[in-house]
């Protein structure tokens, strides 16, 4: 089959690789019809997530048709059209039974690696380094999916791939980021980052009752997309965000703040240079947490900090004094995708969330390396790239 393969930092190619096989009786094989490039994939490409090995297949947002199942798979059948949540759940451990599927105790075969870094291991994740299991990803024509009965979800036939693909990650991630804000009527929510997760956070915050949502980014097209969802934009390249938020909230600050950026935030001034240089060493500091620092500083006293952006290692100069003395509460974590699928599918069916709004480019799998360049460098107003594993390059075109 064809698959997007990681060969080293900023080195990707689409190669011929062996087809996946059933390894356990609870496995299934999915023929992938649509897959997407996620912002957190860039952390792998840029070399900021350790334990990648040349030959690894990327991708954790994918869906398709089940073409083979192990003899112990009961709920899922060959021919089912399914989406595949990015965290792998065993379905039976304490965490899975409490709807905390991104913390599954049994799906990461390399748990010792994760425990050495984080104390305890989260769930295994497709295409996301050997730290989270070394599973082959879904930017490919086929994928093996473990614990198929717990991880594959049929989708309504009336919904297109574009409408349900993002249920695998960025839509529930944005929803959980908003839910973590514990929004109350009249609340003001400020969201750093207007990429795919930020866009869905904004829409979810309104669904959950926020009175106002303030969107912070530096790319006009992303701020425009946020504005169309009802958010009030701030371009941090031209505006003092802290002062603007104070002014917009009568001097109190936002009730909740969301970091939808993560470890590769773009800082300004000496602080931005400081973090960029240290992160380049991949040892002195593993993150550029500018958005998180700014969010903590800007949040009102007693407010909530929701962290959806991915972090992997260690950051310095975190404003813990502000965090403690303002009595802030932080909620974070990889998304428990499984718990949100039913309610978000209903929102899509009722037209309350339109996931297709964020798609700017649809490319063939063969064009995936170009898709990464477009997405990474925000070229051609790129917000989200969907890949078609079975289409020829000449048949694809930009969605907009």
Kindly report the CATH number assigned to the domain that includes residue 321.
3.40.50.720
User: Which pLDDT does position 302 carry in this prediction?
Assistant: 98
More confident residue, 6 or 314: 6
Instruction: Indicate if 307 and 321 belong to the same structural domain.
Output: yes
| Residue 356 burial class via C-beta count within 10 angstroms: exposed 0-12, middle 13-18, buried 19 and up | middle
393 found inside a domain: no
Task: Count the domains in the chain.
Answer: 2
Q: What are the φ/ψ torsions at residue 268 (nearest 5 degrees)?
A: -120, 155
List beta partners, residue 331: 306
- What Rg value do the Cα atoms of the chain yield, rounded? 20
The residue out of 332, 352, 375 marking a domain boundary is 332
Beta carbons within 10 angstroms of residue 250's beta carbon: 8
State pTM to two decimals. Answer: 0.95
Q: Are 313 and 227 contained in the same domain?
A: yes
pLDDT digits (tens, 9 = 90+) for 61-110: 999 999 999 999 999 999 999 999 999 999 999 999 999 999 999 999 99
Q: Which residue has the higher pLDDT, 38 or 279?
A: 38
Confidence at residue 288, expressed as pLDDT on a 0 to 100 scale: 84
Please indicate, yes or no, whether residues 102 and 177 belong to a single structural domain of this protein. Answer: no
Q: Summarize pLDDT for 381-396 with one digit per residue, the tens.
A: 999 999 999 998 865 4
Is 67 part of any domain? yes
Asked if residue 245 is part of any domain, the answer here is yes
* 324 and 341 fall within a common domain: no
DSSP class of 27: -
* Residue 57 located in a structural domain: yes
Phi first, then psi, for residue 212 (nearest 5°) are -135, 145
**pLDDT band with cut points at 50, 70 and 90 for residue 398:** very low
Task: Verify that 28 and 161 share a domain, yes or no.
Answer: yes
pLDDT level of residue 274 (50, 70, 90 thresholds):
confident
Is the confidence at residue 217, as pLDDT, over 80? yes
CATH number at residue 55: 3.90.180.10
- Residue 231: how many CA atoms within 13 Å on its side-chain side? 30
Contacts of 262 (CB under 8 A, 6+ apart): 39, 40, 43, 193, 287, 291, 308, 309, 310, 311
Q: Are 232 and 368 within one domain? A: no
Domain of 316 in residue numbering reads as 171-332
- Give the per-residue pLDDT at 285: 74
Q: Which two tokens stand for residue 106?
A: 């049994």
Bridge partners (DSSP) of residue 34 are 63
% residues pLDDT > 70 (the chain): 98
Which of 286, 317, 332 lies at the terminal end of a domain, its last residue?
332
- Residue 395: the pLDDT is 53
At 394 the pLDDT is 64
């Amino acid at each position: 089959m064809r698959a997007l393969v990681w060969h080293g930092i900023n080195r990707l190619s689409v190669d011929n690789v062996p087809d996946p096989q059933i390894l356990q009786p609870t496995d299934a094989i999915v023929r992938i019809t649509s897959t997407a490039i996620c912002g957190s994939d860039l952390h792998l490409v840029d070399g900021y997530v350790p334990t990648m090995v040349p030959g690894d297949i990327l991708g954790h947002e994918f869906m398709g048709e089940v073409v083979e199942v192990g003899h112990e798979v009961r709920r899922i059948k060959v021919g089912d059209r399914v989406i595949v949540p990015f965290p792998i759940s065993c379905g039976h451990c304490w965490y899975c039974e409490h709807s905390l599927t991104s913390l599954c105790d049994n799906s990461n075969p390399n748990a010792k690696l994760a425990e050495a870094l984080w104390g305890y291991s989260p769930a295994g994740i497709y295409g996301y380094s050997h730290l989270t299991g070394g599973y082959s990803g879904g930017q490919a024509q086929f994928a093996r999916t473990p614990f198929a009965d717990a991880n594959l979800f049929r989708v309504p036939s009336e919904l297109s791939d574009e409408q349900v693909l993002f249920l695998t990650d960025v839509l529930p991630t944005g929803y959980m980021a908003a839910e973590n804000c514990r929004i109350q009527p009249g609340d003001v929510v400020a969201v750093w980052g207007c990429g795919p997760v930020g866009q869905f956070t904004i829409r979810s915050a309104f669904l959950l009752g926020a009175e106002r949502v303030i969107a912070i980014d530096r790319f006009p097209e992303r701020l425009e997309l946020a504005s169309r969802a009802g958010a009030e934009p701030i371009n941090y390249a031209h505006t003092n965000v802290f002062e603007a938020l104070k002014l917009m909230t009568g001097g109190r600050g936002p009730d909740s703040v969301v970091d939808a950026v993560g470890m590769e935030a773009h800082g300004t001034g000496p602080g931005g240079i400081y973090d960029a240089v240290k992160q380049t060493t991949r040892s002195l500091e593993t993150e550029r947490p500018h958005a998180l620092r700014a969010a903590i500083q800007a949040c009102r006293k007693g407010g909530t900090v929701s962290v959806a952006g991915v972090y992997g290692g260690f950051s310095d100069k975190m404003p813990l004094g502000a965090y403690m003395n303002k009595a802030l509460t932080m909620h974070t974590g990889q998304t428990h995708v499984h718990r949100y699928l039913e309610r978000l599918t209903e929102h899509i069916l009722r037209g309350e969330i339109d996931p297709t709004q964020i798609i700017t480019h649809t490319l063939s799998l063969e064009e995936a390396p170009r898709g990464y360049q477009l997405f990474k460098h925000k070229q051609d107003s790129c917000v989200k790239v969907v890949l078609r594993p079975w289409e020829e390059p000449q048949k694809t075109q930009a969605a907009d």
